[in-house]
Structure 1
Amino acid sequence: MDEISIDRLVLDIPGLNAAQARDLAQRVGTGLAAASTRDDTAFKSADFDALAVDLNDIAGRQGVARLADDIVSALLIHLGGR
């Protein structure tokens, strides 16, 4: 089982209020933690100074839960876990 180690993750997402931002951060963390415990996930070793994840406008309009899922999916693609 591989682990994900993130020293710092900064999300710049305009239009969220404080409660939505906290909810999003919790959901992204939970999603990444769940992915790191799956037996079928293999992450490549990577060290990123910065990693940009572009989401289309639709992702932002579908709610915090969907936005978090899209962010986790995009991060896992970059890390080789999907």
Structure 2
Amino acid sequence: IDELSDVNKKGDIVDVYELSPLQQGMYYHWLSNNNTSLYFEQTSYRLRAEGLEIALIRQAYDQLVERHSVLRTSFTNDYGGVP
């Protein structure tokens, strides 16, 4: 419980989950060679729009992150040595 207190110093962790065996394997391979794109997928778009209000885009993004906890997910080995 001391380790969890150290990890959650800011008090902003909602829950802690251990990775599934498949996730552990993927995470291990990423840690051993994070230069590979094997488990990384990214899509980007370029928009051209007059009058696009970046503040409104940021507000919408912040609302999505607040609403969906999966968008706030992070991984660490700092808790009991288990990802």
Query: With CA pairs under 8 Å and 6+ residues apart, which has the higher RCO, 1 or 2?
Result: 2
**Structure having the higher Rg:** 2
Query: Which structure's residues are more often helix, by fraction?
Result: 1
Report the TM-score, using the length of structure 2 for normalisation: 0.29
Report the TM-score, using the length of structure 1 for normalisation: 0.29
